[in-house]
A and B are shown apart, each in its own frame.
Chain A
Amino acid sequence: MCETCGCGDPHMVSVEIQERILSVNDRAATHNREHFAAHGVLAINLMGSPGSGKTAVLEATGRAFAGRCRVAAIAGDLETERDAERLRTAGIPARAITTGSACHLDASMVHHALHHESLDGARLLFIENVGNLVCPAVYDLGQAFNVVALAVTEGEDKPLKYPVMFRKADLVLVTKTDLLPHLDVQAGTIDEAIGRVMPEPAVFHVSAKTGDGLGRWFEWLEEQLRARSGPDASHPARGHHHD
């Protein structure tokens, strides 16, 4: 018994929480997702190692979709606006998020970037994540699809070493296939490894340099855009409500 006031000794209580540690991020991601859905925006979270060819694929995509569909991008990097500048040169309005030391983008960083006027009216929004094959897979951004770029130069066993990233992928772009003749790497072996970590493997082999295989990627994007086209698709992308 407590001697001062008779209230009883401090005691221990066990409190059941059972909540995802990232529930705050999940809520922000849900907000982004509702916003994308309301405005008919197809948002793609593009992930992959540094140097896996993410920006090169987007540059080619921006050129292919020029005049047909408004494409915009958010590019995450630890430092510099280089990727965003490259994308703008390729005709894609792009907003850089420099994360400093953070190894991934989270949903609230994406949300802040969405308020930038350069992204207004986009129908196809690429979120180019920080180059990293681990951390970005943990954070939902509100995207419709996760696409992972994996360069043939990264080796055949990367999917087996980084299963979390590939499990979260909806589509894998095996990039830089023009380099295959110079490497001791078999494209089929990469596919085989992907099949061991991705339950429903969807894989396109592409070269942003020669354009090989990009047609299938563009068709895939168009299919997803058609599935999303709605009556309010022309609304500006940043006009949305907060609760």
Chain B
Amino acid sequence: MHEYSLMLALMERVEEEAAKRGALAVHRVVVRIGELSGVEPELLDSAFAIAAAGTVCERAALDIERVAARWECSGCRRPLEAGERLRCAACGAPAALAAGDEILLGQIELEVP
């Protein structure tokens, strides 16, 4: 359950941004979480409910954009199917993860004076 410690890091960054802009409230926090990031969106959501209480994020919505894992050949860029051996059938090169390991804070929407 590392989602709570991730959430604390996220809250710190959001609060810093809110303070910098003198925000009255945070309305929305958008994060991008990859399928192979090791982060469970549901647990992140529960952690947000706890961490946001009593902060500038109290009434904010957490939008979690899920990013599907996408592997491709590191040589010829041929996309690989999910569950396939992670080596290109065409050229033999190892696969590279093209998307799906994101743990990103994307945008925040603030109410400013």
Contact = CB atoms under 8 A, between A and B. Distances in A.
Contact of B38 (A21, A135, A196, A198): A135
Nearest to B96: A199
A197 B85 CA distance: 8
Contacts of B74: 199
Contacts of B105: 17-21
Interface in A1-47: 7, 10-25
A197 B86 contact: yes
B28 to A, nearest CB: 8
Interface residues of B, number: 40
A198 B101 CA distance: 14
Given A17-B106, A19-B105, A199-B95, A138 B37 contact: yes
A204 B72 CA distance: 26
Interface string B62-74: 0000000001001
Main secondary structure of the interface of B (DSSP, over half): mixed
A158 interface: no
Contacts of A20: 103-105
Given A14-B108, A18-B104, A18-B106, 12 more contacts: A13-B112, A15-B108, A15-B110, A16-B106, A17-B107, A21-B6, A21-B103, A138-B2, A164-B38, A167-B97, A167-B101, A196-B86
Interface of A: 7, 10-25, 102-104, 106, 134-135, 137-139, 163-165, 167, 195-200
